[in-house]
Amino acid sequence: MFPKNSLEKLAPINTVCLMILAASAATWVLVYTKTVLMPFVIALFISMVAGTLAGWLKQKWKVPYGLGLVLSFLAFLAIIALSVLFISGSIESFVAGADIYAERLNDTLDWLLLNAQKYGINMNAQFVADTVDKLPVFNMVKSVGSTLVSILTNLMLITLFVIFIFMGKASAEKPALVGNIQKQISFYLLIKIFVSLLAAGFTWIVLASIKTELASMLAVLTFVLNFIPNIGPFISTMLPMPVLFLQYGLDWHILLALILLTTLHFIIGNILETKWLGKGMDLDPLVVIACLIFWALVWGIMGALLAVPMTAIIKMALERNETTKPLADLLGGKYAFK
């Protein structure tokens, strides 16, 4: 028999070990059940947003709650359908000009090689040309487009889950924790959807004004990537540059687009979103980056998109228990353990 004091000293270690084992098992379950669990989580978030919108419609315009849920979900489906149409049209337009872009790329490479020789930099022109020819640029564009379309159009399971969640909304009253989670997550998602729509709309205006071939597809990608904190806006700012390079070469179009898009994302991300969200999900920036990496490894691009709200739900659940509250404090940036 161990002395009582020794057992009390071992208790925190046992708790940590159990948490590590539980986290490992949970990660395995998340990966193994990805096909079904990911659509369910998406449906859950959709139902949260739809529930908040339905409540607002009922309060503002006396729309019945059930009808508000249906209208909110139909609006979601309409956004998906329009996104698919925009992406399909953009890809067709880009592929149609493939020969022109290839010729322009070769001309740019010849100019670069000529200027490199002037400065005493000798490069094997044939090797560079062969390497560029092997780059699957157009296949990558098609692949990105088809992947996004397949994600957006794979709605059978999501729709089914949403219907069952809606049916359950009329049941017993929610526990305080569930109600608090729904309120905070739906508020965060509504603000993110709104600012992402703003970013996508202004991105389309900027790119369409300089006649960018993939303006619609890049605007849709901007909307999606804006859900990834910090990294997403940077990627969506840089994505149009290769397309503009293939269209116009190295000229003022690239510089103008870079300046306007950088300014746009700075205003939306650092001024508007910060003002409307406040502290947001109260997650430490380093924790957000770590969670992005974790969820991206577990669920791919959709995991990165859902990383912040899922981590926020975990944090709110951990705060309810004294044993796990230090972990919640860690996620919030409070590193002092008692």
Nearest-5° Cα angle at 287, 329 to 14:
55
8 Å CB contact between 68 and 52: no
Burial (CB < 10 A; 0-12, 13-18, 19+), residue 299, is: buried
pLDDT for position 109: 75
Length of the chain: 338
pLDDT for position 205: 95
pLDDT for position 336: 44
pLDDT for position 337: 41
pLDDT for position 9: 54
pLDDT for position 236: 92
SS3 for the chain is: CCCHHHHHHHHHHHHHHHHHHHHHHHHHHHHHCHHHHHHHHHHHHHHHHHHHHHHHHHHHHCCCHHHHHHHHHHHHHHHHHHHHHHHHHHHHHHHHCHHHHHHHHHHHHHHHHHHHHHCCCCCCHHHHHHHHHHCCHHHHHHHHHHHHHHHHHCCHHHHHHHHHHHHHCCCCCCCHHHHHHHHHHHHHHHHHHHHHHHHHHHHHHHHHHCCCCCHHHHHHHHHHHCCCCCHHHHHHHHCHHHHHHHHHCCCHHHHHHHHHHHHHHHHHHHHHHHHHHCCCCCCCHHHHHHHHHHHHHHHHHHHHHHHHHHHHHHHHHHCCCCCCHHHHHHHCCCCCCC
Tens of pLDDT along the chain (338 residues)? Answer: 445 555 455 556 676 677 788 888 988 998 898 888 888 888 889 888 888 888 888 888 888 888 888 888 888 888 777 776 776 666 666 666 666 766 777 777 777 777 777 777 776 666 666 665 665 555 555 555 555 555 555 677 788 888 888 877 655 456 666 777 888 888 898 899 899 999 999 999 999 999 887 788 888 889 888 988 888 999 999 999 988 887 887 789 999 999 999 999 999 988 888 888 766 677 888 888 899 999 989 988 788 888 989 998 888 888 887 777 888 888 887 764 44
pTM for the full predicted model: 0.79
pLDDT for position 2: 45
Distance linking the first and last C-alpha atoms of the chain: 29
pLDDT for position 234: 93
pLDDT for position 338: 41
pLDDT for position 203: 95
